[in-house]
Structure 1
């Protein structure tokens, strides 16, 4: 499996403070926060049990390793936590932010994505998963069209690789969040 770099090079003081807060969370609270990052419970449990992390990079590496270890059921659970591209979960700012590239797509592209998403789900049995952050609708459509041609085993590994990217971005945002009691 190929891994990507952490979302930012080096940790900011806010990331360090965020990591300290994350490390200090009670076990149940940490698991809850992590299942908002990735719906796979085994992934969240592995990261929860691996605390404390000395650096954000150590947390990212643990995330990558836990994703690599997910069995088929765990990978299915992780993928099930993601809405189809072009249809973010209503009221979910994370999926809306991550799929921002589809927001400005014309109705024809949106309809094409819906049709291709359905074909993908029928062929592979799971949602098309791509790290959509920074991609526009045409880039997502082109990736979906190309990946529809893959064999199922390869596509599951593509989904796992995309989860690595998504989880790193989400963990980076988690660490960058201001403390709950700090002024916004």
Structure 2
């Protein structure tokens, strides 16, 4: 479980421990190493700005590493760990009757782009997530990668705030 109760506690962690905590926000080793190395952070705004810029600057290989930790939209997260809990909260807008349509959409998306469909689900209804998924299926790879980076940055920003108790 987390040893982080505040930004001050996060800043005080040993490097390896800080990296492990950061991996729960964005599962890219490059991300975790870089953000941990720039500590201490004076406030949440500085921490999230660095995290956001880091996600946007990741090589695609590192983005792909992070995507592997994300559940498909509509799948139910098992487990009692922090990431599973956050995933359940983030996807709370998915109603049971949409799960089949989302499963079909996820399959089509993964066939087209080769990775999980990623959307910052917080505050979105299941219908909105499904509509966005279908709309994004027409994107070319470059446009979709830009959207994925943006969505990953949004998710990371939200999780960073949760990590440090903000």
TM-score, normalised with respect to structure 1? 0.83
**Residues 23-42 of structure 1, C-alpha deviations (whole Å, 9 max, x = no match):** 00111110100001110010
Displacement after TM superposition at 1:72 (Å): 1.4
Q: Equivalences for 1:110-129 in 2 at 5 Å?
A: 110-129=99-118
Displacement after TM superposition at 1:89 (Å): 2.8
Runs of 4 or more, structure 1, over 3 Å off, are: none
Distance in 2 (alpha carbons) for counterparts of 1:58 and 1:146: 33
Which structure has the larger Rg over C-alpha atoms? 1
Cα RMSD between the aligned structures? 1.2
Displacement after TM superposition at 1:88 (Å): 3.3
TM-score, normalised with respect to structure 2? 0.91
Distance in 1 (alpha carbons) for counterparts of 2:85 and 2:52: 24
**Residues 118-166 of structure 1, C-alpha deviations (whole Å, 9 max, x = no match):** 0000000010000000111001011101111111111111010001110
Q: Equivalences for 1:90-105 in 2 at 5 Å?
A: 90-91=78-79, 92-102=84-94, 105=95
Q: Which runs of 5+ in 1 are unaligned?
A: 1-16, 178-184
Instruction: Name which of 13, 27, 31 aligns with 1:39.
Output: 27
Distance in 2 (alpha carbons) for counterparts of 1:156 and 1:127: 12
What count of residue pairs does the alignment treat as equivalent?
158
